Structure 1
């Protein structure tokens, strides 16, 4: 058998518990459930920064955001930083990127052999790290956030070319359809090639990222009663840490009624099932081309979604729904149906890809490959904690999080820390 291929599928803003394989009572994710049954899933997996750009720049370089100056949205990656894609390309392994990776500014290829994107994020010039962004100042309110909640629901039944990747009324359904088409086309090309050289493909899907808009058939699967109401959903919520309370204020959500919650959660669930359908298309094509059994597949999300929990939506904070992620790894020779509770983060993706490809990981990478942990249940030299950080909007100052031994500690700059017992 030839050297294995690699497929990484990254969704955007997927709450870690809203999957069938994690025991959710209503969500329909048959393709992810099957992937988990054939592979290993992690129950304590975390983003290294719960916002798009820093999370993605972190996992493609295998470094924490603070090591690469990826402080927030719009911070371009230094072209001198080695990425997993460039490392593969230089070793003669084709690395393709389709969809959202969130490189900022002119530098978009990130070292991939080939790539296609719909939406390109602009870059700050420069990012105002020392002088706070307006969105970190006392009293700032992001007025469009409540509109996003109020406008959740069924999208118009139209077909577009993906637009710019974002449409307030249509959401990202067409973006993901187009990107999945690109991924399927790539797999068909690879299936028809006579040589058996290994390759890697990254697929960046946008669902279930807001706007919470989804085709009617998906929405109707869950509205109004096939959903779990969020815990501690108080608007406002005076029980929050002062910095998280500041985030709630900055979101400007105001009163969110039960009817509004049911509407937005139904749309969110529908987006996850639509996402699962696209993942199913990719898996089906791998099988159709005879590539499935010799391909490592990683499913993950760049961060989670609060989804009304604690009176919050979106991400940005260190609560589980926001910073936690779903993570599945399936591949040739790996155990099936395994669950791992050890804390891991996406900074481990880089060394995992290197491990699969038989390449060395640089000594200055803080992560460790997931493969020994999956195969042996333990790994010498692996940190027994998960680390995440945040330097962006809605918080007056930065925060840093550690999860270890069932506890979560968050250090808030210039404010008191918090400590939670996650088991209880």
Structure 2
């Protein structure tokens, strides 16, 4: 019986799973999977934020703030239909979204002519001592549930199973304490995990000057509260604490592998380890996600189990819409956007490949949410990463040669106009992005107007109590006028 145990986490940056990133922190479970299975070196999220990314993982689409309708068919529903026992633990997001009113208002008003901080300044915090292993208790509880289910339920099943475990790690969270750093986005760990990090191997990312930044990057950096001064020690600590949180995540993966080994299921179970998006950890003067830079969009994807080649590294560009569920060899729905990974994973390539398995050389990602003041579209093809914004002309595109410039510090769009035109033609063949961008602007306007009308004259007071309150209250009338001007311009159709 072929089992499918699906380990899904918020591990972030996929580069950590292979050299040179893995020199910064000890990840024994990841290394075990690399040795026993296959690693995808160029795996990408289709949207660098939780909810839509996880919806795409489940072969579905939704907007960033609403969960799927209860009657939507996910790949796990499909597995159940074909005789699999399924179980889910932990973070799902595709069922609810969980994004706050602040997230929504920030996204709706991103075209307004103002700059307001949407995040607390990133910082670090130690908890406990060298003996404290369980820092993120909620994730450990869900891991324990998954382990117990394997030991008590899965081991006794007569049919195959699918197990999904969704974790929050290594997500930075707003600090609850008051004072100067109230609301700061905190990377949290214990001395136990921090000792797993090789400080000397931590790379301090290079930053462009604020005046040289791409306008969308500047907006993102400002709203993420990262345009202030940061010492090298601060940046190194943020990155070190992030790596320590990844080490704790790796230990949870290890618990799943140990449970499968202890029950005799490991040899006939496929394990898939991936994430919904990455973590910039102060690259490009940003933390968090919502960016097409590698730290945010490049995700881990490792697969091990029967029929999967061992110690294989795959260079093909793949993404979350690619059908990892097809490993179970169930009938394939015809409306899926992705391509089967089986031809890349199987030990012996078949003599015939179906037309659907002829995958393209590109992957697509897009983002329409908060912390970014434009709709963003990314095409990764070969050595190139092409990023288009809005209608394609009002905001300059970016082009990076990831072979020559892996840190994405030099935009070569002007230098290679033929490449830009070629990639933009492919992008337009996949999605009419100027039209989509316009639709998003219309959606944002209507959603904000509905929200504002539901509050009457109190909308400004409500905003003052959202995450922006420290900036908003500095010049409340100025920001109210900017919103009113934005609404008038939109009503006149002058977008």
- TM-score normalised by the shorter chain: which range applies? 0.7 to 0.9
Residue equivalent to 2:143: 180
- Residues 1:255 and 2:253 are matched in the alignment: no
Name which one, 1 or 2, has greater alpha-carbon Rg. 2
CA RMSD across the alignment: 2.7
How many Å separate the matches in 2 of 1:140 and 1:32? 40
Is 1:393 the counterpart of 2:370? The answer is yes
Contact 1:214 1:270 in 2 (8 A): yes
Task: Mark the CA change 1:227 to 1:395 in structure 2 (over 3 Å): closer, same or farther.
Answer: same
Q: Which moved more, 1:87-96 or 1:378-387?
A: 378-387
1:356 to 301, 312, 327: 327
TM-score by length of 2: 0.71
The answer as to whether partners of 2:281 and 2:287 remain within 8 angstroms in 1 is yes
Which residue number corresponds to residue 91 of structure 2?
Answer: 100
Aligned counterparts, 1:124-273, within 5 A: 133-134=108-109, 137-142=112-117, 144-146=119-121, 149-150=122-123, 152-156=124-128, 173-193=136-156, 195-211=157-173, 212-222=187-197, 225-234=199-208, 237-253=210-226, 254-273=228-247
Structure 1 SS opposite 2:212: coil
Contact kept? 1:43, 1:339, Cα under 8 Å: yes
- Partners of 1:87 and 1:391 lie apart in 2 by 29
The alpha carbon displacement at 1:171 in A equals 11
Question: How much does 1:122 deviate?
Answer: 6.0
Contact 2:147 2:259 in 1 (8 A): yes
Q: 1:219 to 1:139 in 2, by over 3 A?
A: farther
1:215 to partner: Cα distance: 1.5
Residues 199-245 of structure 1 show CA distances to partners (whole Å, capped at 9, x for unaligned) of 0001111111113101121123337x3442232235x5433321122
1:20 to partner: Cα distance: 5.5
- In the aligned structure 1, how far is the partner of 2:367 from the partner of 2:320? 15
Q: Structure 1's 123 and 394: CA in aligned 2 closer, same or farther, altered over 3 A?
A: closer
Q: Against the structure 1 CA distance between its residues 142 and 158, is the aligned structure 2 distance closer, same or farther, given a 3 Å change threshold? A: farther
Structure with greater helix share of residues: 2
In structure 1, the residue matched to 2:30 is 32
SS for the counterpart of 2:16 is coil
Deviations 1:165-224 (A, max 9, x none): xxxxx997112111110110110023541x43100001111111113101121123337x
| Counterpart secondary structure, 2:7 | strand
1:260-318 CA-partner distances (Å, limit 9, x unpaired): 11221121111111111111111001000000010111001111111111211111111
Alpha-carbon distance in structure 2 between the residues aligned to 1:199 and 1:21: 33
- Corresponding residue for residue 360 of structure 2: 383
User: How far is 1:78 from its partner?
Assistant: 2.8
Which among 64, 68, 78 is matched to residue 87 of structure 1? 78
Question: Residue in 2 aligned with 1:423?
Answer: 403
Q: Which runs of 5+ in 2 are unaligned?
A: 174-186, 405-495
Question: 2:53 matched to which residue of 1?
Answer: 55
How many residue pairs get aligned? The number is 380
Measured after TM superposition, the shift of residue 158 of structure 1 is 12
Per the normalisation by structure 1, the TM-score is 0.83
- Are 2:384 and 2:400, in contact at CA under 8 Å, matched by a contact in 1? yes
Residues in 2 aligned to 1:218 and 1:159: alpha-carbon distance in whole angstroms: 10
Whether contact under 8 Å (1:14, 1:301) holds in the other structure is yes
- Say if 1:229 and 1:71 are closer, same or farther in 2 by CA, change over 3 A: same
Distance 1:21 1:276, change over 3 A: farther
- For residues 28 and 239 of structure 1, the distance between their equivalents in structure 2, rounded to whole angstroms, comes to 36
